[in-house]
Amino acid sequence: MFLNFPMTNFNGELAALGAAFLWALSAVIYAHLGQKVSPLALNLSKGVIAIALIALTLIVQGNYWPADMNGVALGCLLLSGVVGIGLGDTFYFEALNHLGARRTLLLEALAPPLSAFIALVFLREALSLGAWMGIFLTVLGVSWVISERVPGTTVNAENPLRGVGFALVSALAQASGAVLSRAALADTAISPLWSTLLRLMGCVVVLLLWIPFKQGSQAAFKPLQSKQLLGIIIITALFSTYLGIMLQQTALKYTATGIAQALLSTSPLFVLPMTISMGEIVSPRAFLGVLVALGGIGLLFGYQ
């Protein structure tokens, strides 16, 4: 049986755009943090911080166990965290170190169509032709903006093929994690806050198991002894992980996987106003890419 998506509101779509905005704000900070903190340590620290914030929120709410939880949903959310956040984010940070932000994000643009295809195969989540066109235009516009060359920028050319491999694995992991989350959330009353907590728990567990096999992992955590650096990570985790992933889960609960992932991939569009405010010149070509992406977003909001 194919899933039906009644178009009563735009909660999922707006949540996806909200998450993309928060991730755009944090991307610049994570790019600088990546020069001082290893991908594994950065991913683990932000995950632990976000778990503490969510647990505190749930205690204040008196929400001690998610409604409508069952073994299948629990397994899907934990595995979603292992694959989508634990592996996906770590490989994403690795790719950033080898390829730079623009090339990495260009390859990450494969995540939305991968998500839609995997959801079609495993969840029988059929999309209309208009929705597929919206995904295509959104991804095309975002890729167009990302591929714009910026004078004076440099990219670490060390092991570029290794970076491409990390980026491709990250895109596949994020797409798979999104589909697993959608499978758990679509027909249950599990809240986005609880699903975020369970995903992050799965992420942290796999990273803790990974540490003993990672060469030089103990030294990788030494930068976190800096109170200033740790403070920056806490604030960034609040917006990017606590709020960002909760909005992502809201999007996956209320709209189709491929549509949610396409809107979540629009972070580079939100970066443009920031770069303009810092005095960077944005070419007409980049603005054209934004218009193409906005056309795709418009289709996704009216896909039925």
Q: Per-residue pLDDT tens for 117-144? A: 999 999 999 999 999 999 999 999 999 8
Task: Read off the pLDDT band of 149 (50, 70, 90).
Answer: low
Residue 152: Cβ within 10 Å count: 5
Task: Read off the pLDDT band of 66 (50, 70, 90).
Answer: confident
Average pLDDT over residues 231-258: 94
The answer to whether 166 touches 91, Cβ cutoff 8 Å, is yes
Cα dihedral 207, 208, 213, 216, rounded to 10, equals 90
Q: Does 79 score more than 90 pLDDT?
A: yes
Q: Per-residue pLDDT tens for 248-300? A: 999 999 999 999 999 999 988 888 887 777 777 778 888 899 999 999 999 99
Give the separation between CA 241 and CA 192, rounded to whole angstroms: 13
pLDDT value at residue 303: 59
Query: What are the sequence ranges of the domains in the chain?
Result: 11-128+154-256
What mean pLDDT value characterizes the chain?
87
Task: Read off the pLDDT band of 172 (50, 70, 90).
Answer: very high
Q: H/E/C letters for each residue in 165-189?
A: HHHHHHHHHHHHHHHHHHHHHCCCC
Query: Please, how many CA atoms are within 13 Å of residue 225, restricted to the half-sphere of its CB?
Result: 6
Q: Which two tokens stand for residue 178?
A: 């999104």
The answer to whether 52 touches 237, Cβ cutoff 8 Å, is no
pLDDT value at residue 1: 33
Distances (CA, A) of 200 to 68, 115, 294: 19, 20, 31
Specify the pTM. 0.88
pLDDT value at residue 216: 65
pLDDT value at residue 217: 67
Spacing of C-alpha 33 from chain mean position: 17
Give the separation between CA 290 and CA 88, rounded to whole angstroms: 26
Distances (CA, A) of 24 to 2, 27, 264, 274: 34, 5, 10, 9
First to last CA, the chain: 18
